[in-house]
Structure 1
Amino acid sequence: MARRANASGCADCLPPGANRSLGPPPAPAGAPGVLAGVLIFTIVVDIVGNVLVILSVYRNKKLRNAGNIFVVSLSVADLVVALYPYPLALLAIFHNGWTMGTLHCQLSGFVMGLSVIGSVFNITAIALNRYCYICHGLRYDRLYTRRNTCLYLVLTWLLTALATVPNFLVGSLSYDPRVYSCTFAQTASSSYTVCVVVVHFLVPLAVVSFCYLRIWTLVIRVKSRVRPPESRRQRTQTSDLRNFLTMFVVFVLFAVCWAPLNFIGLAVAIDPVRVAPNVPEWLFVMSYFMAYFNSCLNAVVYGLLNQNFRREYKQILLSLCAPRTLFLDSSKCGTEGMKSKQSPAVTHNHLMEANL
C-alpha cells in the first residue's frame, strides 16, 4: 500500500476546537495488512454467526423466550458494526486514510457507539434476566411477561441512544489514523471520558458481576446437595445451568476484550498531558482491535456451549441446500429451549422441594 499525503486522516473529521497539529500519529508500518486481516475475519464471522443466532430464535418457537430476546438484541448490536463501521474502517486501511467525508465519519462513529453501549446494556439485561430466573424463580413469570420484556428491551435501546447522543455535544467523534476508524476520542474531554468509562463500562460490569456472583453462590449450594441417581429435575437443572454458563462466558469475553481500551481511556482522561504521549502505540491499536474482535465471539460461544443453538446452526446450514425450508418452524424437531418457566431445581425457594 502506497503511503499518501493524507495518511494522517481527514482533517475535517476532527472534533471542533481540536488541535490539529497534535493529532495522533499514523499506524506503524506493516500494521495495515494485519489490521485488515483481523477486520475481514471479524466481519465475516460477525455477519455469519449473528445471522445464525437470529435465524435460530426465529425458526424455533422453543427458543423464543424472555432470555433469548435479549440474546437476539445483543446479536443485532454486534451485527450493525459489521455492516457499516467496520467496512468503512477497512476502506480507510486500503486507502491509507479517511476518504468518505465528514458525514460518514460522524455517522459511523455514532453507530459504533450504539453498538458498544448497546452490547453493554444488553449483557446487563441478560444478567438481570438470568439472576431473576435462577435466584428469584417465584417472581420470574410476573417480572418477565411478554409485555414487560418488550418494555425492558425498548428501555435498553432508549438508554443506549441517550448515552450515545452526548458525543455530538462534546465533539468526541473523530478519525484516528492509528486504528483507521472514526471513533470516540479519549482526549476530547477528560471529564466526559471518565463519565463514559464509569457509566458505560464499570457500573454495568459491577451489576453483572453481582448478578453472576449470586448465581454462582446458589449453584455451588445446589451442587453440594445433589444426590444420585439423576432425576428429571436434576437434568433440567443441568440444562438451565449450561445456558447460564453460556451467558457468563459471553460476559467474561466482553469484559476481557473491552477492559484494556477502557482502562487506557480512564488513565488518559485522568492525566492526558503525561499519560497520552506515553501509551505505547501497539498497545492502543491492539486494545482497539481486541474490542472490535469481540463482536464476532458471541455467536461462536453459543454454538460451542449451547446445544440448542448448535443444533439450530446445523439445521440452518443444511437448509441452505433447500432454501424453502430456511424460515420454517423447526421447534418440532426436538430442540430443548431455554424455558420461560423456572425449573424448581435451580431456584433458591425450591431447594428443599427438589431434595438436593
Structure 2
Amino acid sequence: MDAGMDGTNATFLLDDWERDFLASALLVMFVAGTTGNVMVLLAVALSRKLQTSTNIFVVSLSVTDLLVSLVQPLQAAGMLGKDGWPLPDLICKIVADVAITCVSCSVITVSLIGLNRFVLITRSKEAYQRIFSTKFMAAMIMFSWMYPVVTLIIPQTSGRHGRLGYDPSTRLCIWDFAHPNAKIYVVLAAVMSMTTFNVTFVSYILIFRHVRKSALMTRSNAAIIRRPSAGVSGRKRHRKQIELVITKNLLYVICGFFCCVIPYTGLFLALPFLEGSWLRVGLHVSSYAAVLLVLDSCLNPLIYAWKHPHFKVVFGCMVRRKWHEIPEPSKYLTRFLRLGGNTIKSLIISESTQRVGTSI
C-alpha cells in the first residue's frame, strides 16, 4: 500500500495536527491501559476471592489489553514519523503481530466470558463444574490465542501470502490491505468476528430470559410464602445475587468492548473491497477507529473498579495500601504480610535494644 490512491501519496491522508492528536491519545492510553491492567492482574494474584473460573478469562483478556497498551508508544512513533516508520522494520512487524493477535484473542475471549456466564447462571453448580473443567478452560484459552496466530499471523510472516508492517496510509503497524491475499484474511477475520459476536449476543439474551423467568417464579413463591427461607437457601440466594451482579458488570465490559471494536471491525472488513475515493476515506477514518479500538484496553479496569463488587474492594485496598484488608488474601500476599510483620518487629526490637544500650 505504498502507492497513493487517485494519484495522491497515501502519506498525506493525515494532516500534521491529526497525527499529533492521535499520537497523544495513544500515549495516554499506554499509561492508562498499562496501569489499569497491571492492577487487574495484581488484584487477582493477591486475593483468592478473585481467583474464580470466570476470572481466568478476565485475566486472559487483561493480558491482551496489557500487551496492546504496551505497544502503543511504538504506534505513536509511527504516527509521528515524518518519513514513515522511524525504527527497524522488524519492530513494526512485531507490533503488528501483537496488535492483531491480541485484538483477535480479545474478541474470542469476550464470547467465552458470555458462554461462561450463561452456563453459570442457567445451569446447576455441578453441571457448570463439569462443563468448565480445568482442562476444558485451558483448551479454550489456548484456542483463543492460537487461532489468530495460526490463521492470520503465520501465513503473513513470510511475506509471500500477505504482508505485515507499516502502512503509510493509516500510519500504523498493521497488515497490507492492498495485498492480493488480503481478502482471504478478511474472510477468516469475518468468520471469527461474526461467530463470536453471535455467541456473545445469544448467551446474554438467554441469560436475560432465564433471569426474567426466575424473577417471575420468585414473585409467585413470595405470594405463597411470606417469610424468606433462612440457612442454606438464604446463602444460596445471596450467592446467586452476587453472580448476577458480576454478570451484569461483565455485560458492561462486553458492551464497551463492542462499542470500541465494531467501528474498526467494520472498516477492517470493508477496506479490501473499497476503491478510489472510498478507499481513501476508509483509510483516513480507520486511523481514528484504531485509536477507539485501543481505548477498550483502558476501559475494562475502570469498569471493574466502578461496578465489580469484588474487584472494587480489592482495588480500594491496593490504592490505600491497606494490604491486610484485602479479602481472602492469597498465599503470596499472606507470605508478604508475614515477612512485613516480622521485619517491623525486628526493627522495633532493634530500636528498643539500642535505647537500652544508650541508657546503660
Task: Report the identity percentage.
Answer: 23
Match of 1:99, SS state, is: coil
Does the Cα contact within 8 Å between 1:187 and 1:272 map onto a contact in 2?
no
Could you tell me which of 275, 278, 281 is aligned with 1:275?
A: 278
Stretch of structure 1 that moved more, 190-199 or 298-307: 190-199
Q: Which one-letter code corresponds to 1:72 in the other structure? A: V
Give ranges in structure 1 of 5+ residues lacking alignment: 1-17, 333-356
Could you tell me which of 76, 82, 90 is aligned with 1:90?
A: 76
Q: Say if 2:87 is the partner of 1:100.
A: yes
Deviation at 1:19, TM superposition (A): 5.4
Q: Which one-letter code corresponds to 1:185 in the other structure? A: D
Match of 1:30, SS state, is: helix
Q: Which one-letter code corresponds to 1:307 in the other structure? A: P
Could you tell me which of 284, 287, 290 is aligned with 2:289?
A: 287
Rounded to whole Å, the distance in 1 between the matches of 2:98 and 2:54 is: 25
Q: Which residue of 2 aligns with 1:245?
A: 248
Q: Which residue of 2 aligns with 1:12?
A: none
Deviation at 1:271, TM superposition (A): 4.0
Could you tell me which of 111, 122, 126 is aligned with 2:109?
A: 122
Match of 2:11, SS state, is: coil
Q: Say if 2:210 is the partner of 1:218.
A: yes
Rounded to whole Å, the distance in 2 between the matches of 1:150 and 1:159 is: 14
Deviation at 1:120, TM superposition (A): 1.0
Q: Which residue of 2 aligns with 1:31?
A: 18
Q: Which residue of 2 aligns with 1:208?
A: 200
Match of 1:260, SS state, is: helix
Superposed, which structure 2 residues align to 1:183-194 within 5 Å?
183-188=174-179, 189-194=181-186
Could you tell me which of 164, 172, 187 is aligned with 2:163?
A: 172
Q: Say if 2:186 is the partner of 1:199.
A: no
Q: Which one-letter code corresponds to 1:59 in the other structure? A: L
Q: Which residue of 1 aligns with 2:354?
A: none
Deviation at 1:21, TM superposition (A): 4.9
Stretch of structure 1 that moved more, 239-248 or 20-29: 20-29
Match of 1:224, SS state, is: helix
Q: Which residue of 2 aligns with 1:254?
A: 257
Rounded to whole Å, the distance in 2 between the matches of 1:87 and 1:61 is: 34
Rounded to whole Å, the distance in 2 between the matches of 1:100 and 1:205 is: 36
How large is the RMSD of aligned CA atoms in angstroms?
Answer: 2.7
Q: Which one-letter code corresponds to 1:328 in the other structure? A: L
Deviation at 1:243, TM superposition (A): 0.7
Could you tell me which of 329, 333, 337 is aligned with 1:328?
A: 333
Does the Cα contact within 8 Å between 2:122 and 2:210 map onto a contact in 1?
yes
User: 1:258-315 deviations in whole A, cap 9, x for unaligned?
Assistant: 111221232333344563134372x322211111111111111111110200111111
User: 1:50-76 deviations in whole A, cap 9, x for unaligned?
Assistant: 111111111111211211011001000
Rounded to whole Å, the distance in 2 between the matches of 1:180 and 1:271 is: 19
Deviation at 1:190, TM superposition (A): 4.8
Q: Which residue of 2 aligns with 1:335?
A: none
Rounded to whole Å, the distance in 2 between the matches of 1:100 and 1:120 is: 30
Does the Cα contact within 8 Å between 1:79 and 1:295 map onto a contact in 2?
yes
Q: TM-score, normalised by structure 2?
A: 0.78
Sort the Cα spacing of 1:317 and 1:244 in 2 relative to 1 into closer, same or farther, 3 A.
Answer: same
Rounded to whole Å, the distance in 1 between the matches of 2:189 and 2:278 is: 16
Rounded to whole Å, the distance in 1 between the matches of 2:103 and 2:212 is: 32
Stretch of structure 1 that moved more, 162-171 or 72-81: 162-171
Structure holding more helix per residue: 2
Deviation at 1:216, TM superposition (A): 1.2
Rounded to whole Å, the distance in 1 between the matches of 2:196 and 2:156 is: 19
Sort the Cα spacing of 1:272 and 1:265 in 2 relative to 1 into closer, same or farther, 3 A.
Answer: farther
Does the Cα contact within 8 Å between 2:169 and 2:283 map onto a contact in 1?
no
Rounded to whole Å, the distance in 2 between the matches of 1:320 and 1:171 is: 51
Rounded to whole Å, the distance in 2 between the matches of 1:266 and 1:114 is: 16
Rounded to whole Å, the distance in 1 between the matches of 2:32 and 2:81 is: 24
Deviation at 1:115, TM superposition (A): 0.9
Q: Which one-letter code corresponds to 1:286 in the other structure? A: Y
Does the Cα contact within 8 Å between 1:187 and 1:269 map onto a contact in 2?
yes
Give ranges in structure 2 of 5+ residues lacking alignment: 229-233, 338-360
Q: Which one-letter code corresponds to 2:333 in the other structure? A: L
Deviation at 1:210, TM superposition (A): 1.2
Match of 1:182, SS state, is: strand
Stretch of structure 1 that moved more, 215-224 or 141-150: 141-150
Rounded to whole Å, the distance in 2 between the matches of 1:121 and 1:28 is: 35
Deviation at 1:178, TM superposition (A): 4.7
Q: Which one-letter code corresponds to 2:244 in the other structure? A: L
Q: Which residue of 2 aligns with 1:313?
A: 315
Sort the Cα spacing of 1:66 and 1:321 in 2 relative to 1 into closer, same or farther, 3 A.
Answer: closer
Rounded to whole Å, the distance in 1 between the matches of 2:78 and 2:186 is: 29
Rounded to whole Å, the distance in 2 between the matches of 1:219 and 1:142 is: 22
Rounded to whole Å, the distance in 1 between the matches of 2:205 and 2:120 is: 14
Could you tell me which of 7, 20, 23 is aligned with 2:3?
A: 20
Rounded to whole Å, the distance in 2 between the matches of 1:72 and 1:134 is: 20
Rounded to whole Å, the distance in 2 between the matches of 1:196 and 1:278 is: 24
Q: Say if 2:51 is the partner of 1:59.
A: no
Larger Rg: 2
Q: Which residue of 2 aligns with 1:349?
A: none
Match of 1:25, SS state, is: helix
Q: Which one-letter code corresponds to 1:81 in the other structure? A: V
